């Protein structure tokens, strides 16, 4: 009995009461209108409103039901919205109206046609959504990166649905010229291979992280960019959100820095060469050949390998300068340096001692082997001809091997032997070992 009573009570509810209760629990503001003819003109009469609509409009339903928008002067019910003009639309579903600001809240309204005589309007509170959208648009358009949103489907070219101001200003096209066009149709990339690579990466990984590419600006200038792209879902539809960060200035600075470093390296090499090389012959200068000799003496003492030294001097070189001039003398010294280098090993070290004298360090070379080198040098210089007049010159050499003496005594030994070669008639070498100091 109690069940039947409850059942009778439920079945006693009319459809209108059920609909009214349903409308009152929804959060959006809903109103239903019936079209009426007033003096052969269409007007719209309220036939139902929910509680939310009452609160939003500031009128309770007793003030609204039965009244018409036109005749009863309710067209100004919501400031900024011409209800009469809006309700006159005959579409099944109207496009959304511009956002309405009512109090501190923001509303989006829609119109639904129930039948030929009845319409329903719905007002949604989109304050939070609109605030988020405003923030997104602010960030989206104020970003310094080139940002875009395109549709995404595998094996299809994405269509631009939104781009930011930076992208438009960079490539010189307006949003209207970009929206609705394929991302391949907008020629952003200097390298056509980049297009295929982007499609491959986004299809495979559903994202792209810092892919460097080159694009163009409106002046046709190349811009170096880093592309980041990711597939996002909005209302169950996939889109590609992409950003291109302009790194042109960074690459320019990087290139400029590389060029500066190259110039600095070349300058350091030049300074190093100037510090160690003789300007005229390109051989080691006196200071550096002595530094090398110091190291080789230390190695010879430590490891016990033989070390020999030569002092070389061109014969009667003063007469060459007197007869042919110092410029020709310089030429002769340069050519002599090349002759000497071509007759020694890469491991040997040759330096200009001063004037027309040279110092030659022969590592891992005993006195007997050094004598062979000395004779080869003497023959090579004697056979050479200098200048158009085929001038001939000879060279004298003093040779000694290291026996544990100091560097200065070692050099003095070679110099003394050179003097002996000069005294013996020039164009020859004199070789000798000092008494062992070991």
- Banded pLDDT at 349 (limits 50, 70, 90): very high
Residues 164 and 237 in one domain: yes
Q: Are 102 and 80 in contact (CB under 8 A)?
A: no
Highest averaged pLDDT of the listed ranges 18-27, 35-44, 64-73, 319-328 = 319-328
Q: Give me the percent of the chain exceeding a pLDDT of 70.
A: 82
pLDDT value of position 90 = 47
Instruction: Inform me whether the pLDDT recorded for 2 exceeds 50.
Output: no
Rounded Cα distance between 96 and 405, Å, is: 104
Per-residue model confidence as pLDDT tens digits over 369-416: 999 999 999 999 999 999 888 999 999 999 999 999 999 999 999 999
Q: What is the pLDDT of residue 8?
A: 42
428 with 305, same domain: the answer is yes
For residues 289-293, average pLDDT: 96
Whether 154 and 214 share a structural domain:
yes
Predicted local confidence at residue 127, as pLDDT:
65
For residue 9, the model assigns a pLDDT of 44
Final residue before a domain boundary, out of 129, 154, 178: 129
Of 20, 212, 265, 356, catalytic? 356
Query: Which of residues 99, 129, 159 is at a domain's end?
Result: 129
Query: What CATH number did the domain enclosing 381 receive?
Result: 3.30.70.270
Residue 137 within any structural domain of the chain:
no
**Chain-wide mean pLDDT for the chain?**
83
Q: What is the mean pLDDT of residues 299-307?
A: 94
Q: Evaluate whether residue 150 is within a structural domain.
A: yes
Domain count for the chain, please give it. Answer: 3
Which residue range(s) make up the domain with 161? 143-250
> Which of 198, 231, 250 is the last residue before a domain boundary?
250
Q: What is the predicted pLDDT for the residue at 75?
A: 57
246 φ/ψ angles, rounded to the nearest 5 degrees: -75, 115
Asked whether residue 261 is domain-assigned, the answer is no
pLDDT in tens, 175-191: 888 888 887 777 677 77
User: DSSP code of 73?
Assistant: T
Confidence of residue 324 (pLDDT cuts 50, 70, 90): very high
Is residue 194 domain-shared with residue 239, that is, in the same domain?
yes
Which is it for the CA torsion 424, 426, 431, 434, positive or negative? positive
128-137, 226-235, 382-391: which has the minimum mean pLDDT?
128-137
pLDDT of 130: 53
Report the relative pairing of strands 222-234 and 207-216 from DSSP bridges: antiparallel
Do 235 and 352 lie in one domain? The reply is no
Distance between CA atoms of 316 and 314, rounded to whole angstroms?
A: 7
Residue with the bigger pLDDT between 138 and 211: it is 211
Residues 194 and 316 in one domain: no
State whether residue 433 is helix, strand or coil: strand
In this structure, are 296 and 418 located in the same domain? yes
- pLDDT at position 316: 94
Q: Which of 80-94, 278-292, 354-368, 382-396 has the lowest mean pLDDT?
A: 80-94
Inform me whether the pLDDT recorded for 201 exceeds 50: yes
Q: How many C-beta atoms lie closer than 10 Å to residue 314's C-beta?
A: 21
Read off the CATH number of the domain in which 199 is found.
3.30.450.20
What is residue 329's predicted lDDT score, i.e. its pLDDT? 95
Mean local confidence (pLDDT), 52-60: 83
Distance CA 302, CA 47 (A): 114
**Domain assignment of residue 136, yes or no:** no
Q: Is the pLDDT of residue 7 over 50?
A: no
| 190 and 57 co-located in one domain | no
- 4 has a pLDDT exceeding 50: no
Q: In the structure, what pLDDT confidence band is assigned to residue 242 with cuts at 50, 70 and 90? A: confident
Q: Which residue has the higher pLDDT, 104 or 377?
A: 377
* Residue 377 domain-assigned (yes or no): yes
Stretch 357-363: mean pLDDT: 97
One domain, residues 288 and 408: yes
Kindly tell me if the per-residue pLDDT of 11 is higher than 50.
Answer: no
The verdict on residue 305 lying in a domain is yes
Give catalytic status of residue 405 as yes or no.
no
CA distances from 328 to 123, 251, 355 (A): 103, 51, 14
What pLDDT band is residue 84 in, cutting at 50, 70 and 90?
Answer: low
Confidence band for 218, pLDDT divided at 50, 70 and 90 = confident
Strand partners, 37: 42
Global model pTM greater than 0.75: no
């Amino acid at each position: 009995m109690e069940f039947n009573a409850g059942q009778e009570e439920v079945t006693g509810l009319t459809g209108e009461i059920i609909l009214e209760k349903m409308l009152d629990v929804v959060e959006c503001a809903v109103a239903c209108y019936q079209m009426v003819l007033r003096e052969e003109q269409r007007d719209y009469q309220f036939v139902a409103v929910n509680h939310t609509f009452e609160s939003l409009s500031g009128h309770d339903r007793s003030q609204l039901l039965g009244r018409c928008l036109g005749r009863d002067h309710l067209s100004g019910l919501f400031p900024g919205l011409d209800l009469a003009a809006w309700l006159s639309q005959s579409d099944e579903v109207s496009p959304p109206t511009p956002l309405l600001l009512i109090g501190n809240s923001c509303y989006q309204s829609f119109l639904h046609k129930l039948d030929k005589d009845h319409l329903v309007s719905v007002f949604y509170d989109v304050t939070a959504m609109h605030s988020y959208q405003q923030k997104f648009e602010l960030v989206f358009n104020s970003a310094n990166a080139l940002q875009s949103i395109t549709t995404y489907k595998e094996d299809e070219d994405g269509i631009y649905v939104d781009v930011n101001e930076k992208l438009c200003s960079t490539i010189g096209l307006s949003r209207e010229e970009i929206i609705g066009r394929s991302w391949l149709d907008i020629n952003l990339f200097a390298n056509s291979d980049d297009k295929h690579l982007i499609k491959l990466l986004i299809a495979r990984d559903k994202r792209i992280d810092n892919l460097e590419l080159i694009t163009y600006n409106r002046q046709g200038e190349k811009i170096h960019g880093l592309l980041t792209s990711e597939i996002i879902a909005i209302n169950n539809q996939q889109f590609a959100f992409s950003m291109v960060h302009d790194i042109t200035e960074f690459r320019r600075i990087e290139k400029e820095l590389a060029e500066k470093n190259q110039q600095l390296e070349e300058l350091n090499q030049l300074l190093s060469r100037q510090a160690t090389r003789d300007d005229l012959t390109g051989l080691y200068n006196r200071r550096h050949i002595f530094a090398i000799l110091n190291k080789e003496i230390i190695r010879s003492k430590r490891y016990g390998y033989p070390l020999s030294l030569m002092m070389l001097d061109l014969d009667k070189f003063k007469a060459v300068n007197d007869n042919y001039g110092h410029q020709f003398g310089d030429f002769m010294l340069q050519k002599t340096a090349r002759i000497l280098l071509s007759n020694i090993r890469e491991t040997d070290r040759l330096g200009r001692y001063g004037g027309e004298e040279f110092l030659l360090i022969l590592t891992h070379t005993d006195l007997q082997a050094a004598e062979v080198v000395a004779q080869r040098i003497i023959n090579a210089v004697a056979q050479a001809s200098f200048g158009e007049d085929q001038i001939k010159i000879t060279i004298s050499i003093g040779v000694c091997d290291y026996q544990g003496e100091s560097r200065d005594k070692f050099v003095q030994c070679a110099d003394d032997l050179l003097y002996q070669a000069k005294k013996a008639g020039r164009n020859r070498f004199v070789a000798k070992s000092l008494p062992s100091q070991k």
